[in-house]
Amino acid sequence: MTSSTADRDALGAFLRARRARISPGEAGLPAGGRRRTPGLRREEVAQLAGIGVTWYTWLEQGRARNASDQVLDAVARVLRLDAAEHRHLRVLAGRGTATEPGPPMDLRPEHTTLLAKFLPYPAAVQTDCYDLVAANRAYRYLFADLDAYPVEERNCAWLMFTEPRWRDSLVDEETVLREITARLRARQPEHRDNPRWNALLTRLRQESPDFVRLWESYEVAGDRTQLRRYRSPRVGALDVQFQSLWLDRARGERIIVMTPADATTTQRLERLDSLVGAAPAWTSGCGSAAGGEAVQA
């Protein structure tokens, strides 16, 4: 894969941000005199990676072409990149794989069956740009009625950054918003030609100063199981393990599930399901399961 001009520009920004966070002492170098910028200098990264200073400078400036796997691996080692950051580096340098824009995700009966079976725990079918394709009723009513939003706005990143009821549900607001942005940043180069991705990122930049601030910090993160703390307007505080069950990892399609981290959360999720039990077991932008009615928000 050949990297684009935008990728090469992003590569330079990424490398500069990553070397700024590594101190000389952490890299095994003497601190030396006063430094104009934090972190490692270009020549220090080049020295530690065993490559020429000019070549590394070209890499940051977007002038280097066809960087080898060995060079990228050496730079990743020096900058202490984790797996998600290493993958991001390779994609930006033209050594990774871009995802071709494909048709919208196909919601299948086995997906909705799983959503219903996860009740009373919140679960949803989600893409890697956070579009919510379908949700069970516990997820639908966790913060506000998901079905009350237009289909094009049923996106976790959009709702968390721009919708007050969703944002107010976050106990650790800064941490969650930073993680969302870092995961979008990590996968964006693989979807550079995807209109849905481009439209989402453009709207977030236009509508959310917090998104712009976090996006420009150039943090990158992968997916992992983690503890999340929420405030549900219906049942109160919830501590859940947030995890992904992959449907198609290459395309980023998954079922996200929130399982209780303690007995109190278990009881509260059971209460939530009893409060909204008149609603269908699952819902999507194309319809919902039969056998229930909407619940008053």
For 231-263, what is each residue's pLDDT tens digit?
999 999 999 999 989 888 777 789 999 999 999
Q: What is the pLDDT of residues 188-199, one digit of tens each?
A: 888 888 889 999
What are the φ/ψ torsions at residue 12 (nearest 5 degrees)?
-60, -45
Beta-bridged to residue 259, according to DSSP, are 241
CA distance 250 to 232: 32
> Which amino acid is residue 85, in one-letter code?
E
- Topology (CATH level 3) of domain 109-173+220-287: Beta-Lactamase (3.30.450)
Residue 89 sits at φ, ψ, to 5 deg, of -60, -45
Q: What percent of the chain has pLDDT over 70?
A: 89
| pLDDT for the residue numbered 100 | 58
**Using an 8 Å Cβ cutoff, are 251 and 131 in contact?**
no
From-to residues of CATH 3.30.450.20 in the chain: 109-173+220-287
Helices (H), 119-192: 137-140, 156-162, 164-167, 173-187
What residues contact residue 290 under an 8 Å CB cut-off, 6+ apart? 280
Query: How many Å apart are CA 77 and CA 56, to the nearest integer?
Result: 14
pLDDT interval class at 2 (50, 70, 90): very low
Strand stretches in 52-183, DSSP E: 123-126, 132-136
What kind and span of H or E run contains 60?
helix 53-61
114 Cβ contact list (under 8 Å, min separation 6): 123, 245, 255
* pLDDT tens, position by position, 153-182: 999 999 999 999 999 999 999 999 999 999
pLDDT number for residue 147: 96
> What mean pLDDT, rounded, does the chain reach?
87
CATH 1.10.260.40 boundaries in the chain: 5-92
Of residues 119, 147, 140, the one with CA closest to residue 274: 119
**Coil vs helix vs strand at 289:** coil
- In CATH terms, the fold of domain 5-92 is 434 Repressor (Amino-terminal Domain) (1.10.260)
Q: How far apart are the first and last CA of the chain?
A: 49
**Nearest CA among 233, 234, 256 for reference residue 243:** 256
